[in-house]
Amino acid sequence: METSQSKEDYIKAIWELTQDEQGVQRVRIAEHLGVSAPSVTAALHRLEKEGFAAADENGRVCLTERGRHIAEK
């Protein structure tokens, strides 16, 4: 499965941040990657649409099984 470097960066960031807590807030992803909150929102929308990540009703982000597979590579 082919993914872009940007997608891999976001997936890796989510993976790293979930090692500290259960679910990750978008603001933590922005801080971790040094990007703006709107950039994170747009990227997460794409990741969710492609089945790599999901957000719960509280806005916490986690990787799906597909996303974890990429992160573990």
Q: Are 3 and 70 in contact (CB under 8 A)?
A: yes
Q: What is the mean pLDDT of each run of 10 residues along the chain (73 residues)?
A: 82 91 84 95 95 91 94 86
* pLDDT of amino acid 73: 82
Q: How far apart are CA 52 and CA 69, in angstroms?
A: 9
Q: Are 47 and 53 in contact (CB under 8 A)?
A: yes
pTM equals 0.87
